[in-house]
Amino acid sequence: MGEGNYSEQKDDFGIGKMDGGVIQGNAKVAGVIHIHNYYEYKKEVKSDPVNAAVAHLPCPYRGLFHFRPNDAELFFGREQEVAELVQATHTKNFIPVLGASGSGKSSIVFAGLVPKLIAQGSWQFTYFRPGDEPFHALAKALIPLYEPDLNRIQKAERSRELGEKLATGSFPLKDVFAEIEINFPNQKLLLIADQFEELFTLCSDEAIRHGFLNLLLAVFKSPANNLEIPPVLITTMRADFLGNALSYSPLAGVLKTEIQLIGAMSRENLSKVIIEPAAMLGVGFESGLVDRILNDVKDEPGNLALLEFTLTELWQKRTTNQLTHQAYDAIGQVRGALAKYAEKEYQKLGDKEQVQARQIFLQLVNLGKDNNHTRRRVNRQQLGENNWDLVTRKGGLADSRLVVTSLDNHEQETLEVVHEALIRHWKRLGQWLNEDRENLNKQRSIEDDAKQWDDNRQNTDYLLKNKRLGAAKEFQQEQHQKYPLSDLAREFIARSSKHQRNERVKSLGLFLIIPLIGTVIGGYFLVREIQLNAAHQLIQECPEKIPNCSGRIEALERLTNAKRSMKSYNLERANLGSANLESANLKSAYLLGADLEDANLIDCRPRRC
């Protein structure tokens, strides 16, 4: 894949020179299309026909990929929707595009809207997908325009910094657009947020999601941005996620008035999708075949993706300048084409590789309610090196076009299924998903926790503890063959276990020290109590009538300092001249003949003297 810069003098389809522009129908689109941060799939579908006379013709259909800006001349059937979007860019700042999966939302934007705006001139384009770090994804899309002179490493660093500032609110988004306006005077900016449902499927933190939506709405919900030429945001999102979007009231208020809904195509327009691209290359359809295809595709959800894939497979079966009923039957028709192709590619693998393929595809699906599953993007580390090799090697899963690789916001290699139509229509994958949904959810939970830990710089606060750690270790031990965890997840569990052991050692040490301290303190009070009891005994047992009984004053002072009551003590004729009896309780003490001269009797309470 490479960044979209379409200045080639000959297009990918051998149709002819573009002379610095893109041809759409009979209208020439002037200028070079450059979408910042947009990476497209360069792999083209090649056929191997028997007839050498047609061998040079490339495939004019896009399979499960969306149409790109340089595919504009092959993009048919959505003229009205494209015209409406073009008009919306002149009157609105926020254009949410909703449609079913496989309805062609992305193709309408990239192969329809963008080339039309290029023809008008004075537009800049940049692109992002929210992913699990929407602030960083947005910053990465804006940095090439905000600071256009940076090299690749500097862009990556500044994207991370800008993303953090946008997330914390320390730098307003409108200030970024103000600087872009200065860098590109008299240029209008179209910010393309593709697959916007990722904000709900991949970003699990509601606070981050709401904060990101607030950031966008503050700039795009109205034209009052204090900018001379306000930017335009266009989002593409699956219609079945409209409920998720409407659940956040600030966004719901905008969606109710601004949605551009991409509905099903009419039979007439679907005919254009089938006939016109082939006709541009001099290839036609056997009589009745177009009607047959239309009858098969009309009721299928996401029918455009299935149709394009079917036509791609049909194109590869051609032997002349005509596409035939026989070839259509051979590929399994519309409903069977995708499943048949996926199964054929799967059967090419050896036994060990099939086990790996199963593990890979299961990781690429977000489980949804009522089998409404969505695709999930994982990075190379999550997938594991052995599995990654099966994806990227010659003849691997990427070459089969069942999966696609890309780069995420951290410049890490990622993988995802080529289209959600594959999840819906490949029966084997559906069986895998239904076989053990509980274990898949457990595996996914561990993997997601591991990724969150890694994304947060492996902070110990994100490690597993107690029951959750025990459950993860049990799953790893019992399901390591059928549901193996990635290298990252295994490291995550190991680090969690080590951290918990260390914490328990610290707790155990504290547990042992506290009783020891208690023993020391308790020993002190025990000794003191013994001493006080001995003093009490000494006073009581001093021989009567014997003045200055050895130790009597010291014992008396010890008892006094301890606030021990000396009620009824026999202190007859005791020499207490230097005794400190402050606050002493001498109630009923026998003090006949005691020498109390110079004794400290403050607050002393003698009763009998």
Buried b (16+ CB within 10 A) or exposed e, 261-298: ebeebeeeebbbbbebbbeebebebeeebbebbbebbe
Q: Are 450 and 486 in contact (CB under 8 A)?
A: yes
CA-to-CA distance for 245 and 376, rounded, in angstroms? 19
Token pair of 354 as six digits? 């099939």
Q: H/E/C letters for each residue in 227-269?
A: CCCCCEEEEEEEHHHHHHHHCCHHHHHHHHHHCEEECCCCHHH
pLDDT bucket at 3, cuts 50 / 70 / 90 = very low
Amino acid at 155: K
Least confident of 187-191, 293-297, 508-512: 508-512
When pLDDT is cut at 50, 70 and 90, the band that residue 516 belongs to is: low
| Residue pair 177/227 in contact by the 8 Å Cβ criterion | yes
Q: Is 195 left (phi over 0), alpha (psi -120 to 50) or beta?
A: left
- Could you tell me if 128 and 137 are in contact, meaning their C-beta atoms sit under 8 angstroms apart? yes
Torsion over CA of 110, 116, 119 and 123, rounded to 10 degrees?
Answer: -60
Which of 438, 442, 503 shows the shortest CA–CA distance to 473?
442
The Cα 379–Cα 386 span in angstroms is 13
Taking the C-alpha atoms of residue 103 and residue 85, their distance in angstroms, rounded to an integer, is 16
Quick one: pLDDT at residue 8?
32
Q: What pLDDT does residue 382 have?
A: 82
Q: First vs last Cα of the chain: how many Å apart?
A: 109
Cα 453 from Cα 473, distance rounded (Å) = 17
Maximum pairwise Cα distance, the chain: 141
**472-479, Cβ contacts within 8 angstroms, sequence gap of 24 or more:** 472/446, 472/496, 473/497, 475/439, 475/442, 475/443, 475/446, 476/446, 479/439, 479/442, 479/443
pLDDT of residue 244: 87
Q: How confident is residue 513, by pLDDT bands cut at 50, 70 and 90?
A: low
Q: Please check the confidence at residue 150 and state whether its pLDDT lies above 50.
A: yes
Please state, in angstroms and rounded to a whole number, the distance separating the CA atoms of residues 518 and 514: 6
Is the pLDDT assigned to residue 127 strictly greater than 90? yes
User: 184-198: per-residue pLDDT in tens?
Assistant: 999 999 999 999 999
Q: Mean pLDDT, the chain, as a whole number?
A: 79
Pairing of strands 413-417, 403-407: antiparallel
Distance CA 566, CA 162 (A): 78
CB contact at 8 A, 14 and 6: no
Which amino acid belongs to residue 608?
Answer: R
Whether the pLDDT of residue 541 is over 70: the answer is no
Instruction: Show the tokens assigned to 597.
Output: 């001269």
CB 66 within 8 A of CB 110: yes
Name the strands in the sheet holding 403-407, side by side, starting at the edge strand that comes first in the sequence: 378-379, 413-417, 403-407
* Phi/psi of residue 579, nearest 5 degrees: -80, 145
Given a cut of 50, whether residue 20 has pLDDT beyond it is: no
Pairing mode of beta strands 27-29, 22-24: antiparallel
Task: Measure the CA–CA gap between 31 and 44, rounded to whole angstroms.
Answer: 24
How much is the pLDDT for 514?
64
Q: What is the pLDDT of residues 203-248, one digit of tens each?
A: 888 999 999 999 999 999 866 567 888 999 999 998 878 888 999 9
Separation between Cα atoms, residue 97 and residue 239, nearest integer Å: 9
Query: What are 296's two structure tokens?
Result: 């098969």
- What's the pLDDT at 594? 55
Buried residues in 337-358 as b, exposed as e (16+ CB within 10 A): bbbbbbbebbeebeeeeeebbb
Separation CA 490–CA 496 (nearest Å): 10
Identify which of 378, 366, 413, 362 has the alpha carbon closest to the alpha carbon of residue 489: 378
Q: Characterise 147 by phi-psi region: left (phi > 0), alpha (psi -120 to 50), beta (else).
A: beta
Question: Average pLDDT for residues 491-496, to the nearest whole number?
Answer: 92
Q: Could you write out the DSSP letters of every residue in 338-380?
A: HHHHHHHHHHTS-HHHHHHHHHHHHHTEE--GGG--EE--EEH
Confidence check: pLDDT of 25 > 50: no
Q: Which of 178, 132, 139 is nearest to 156 (CA)?
A: 139
Stretch 116-139: mean pLDDT: 93
Segment 568-580 shows an average pLDDT of: 53
Give residue 17's pLDDT. 30
Mean pLDDT value of segment 512-516: 63
On whether the CB atoms of residues 323 and 333 are closer than 8 A, the answer is no
pLDDT at 559: 52
Sign of the CA dihedral with 472 first, then 477, 482, and 486 last: positive
What is the predicted pLDDT for the residue at 27?
A: 39
Query: Mean pLDDT throughout 424-429?
Result: 90
CA nearest 442: which of 422, 471, 420, 470? Answer: 471
Separation CA 222–CA 230 (nearest Å): 10
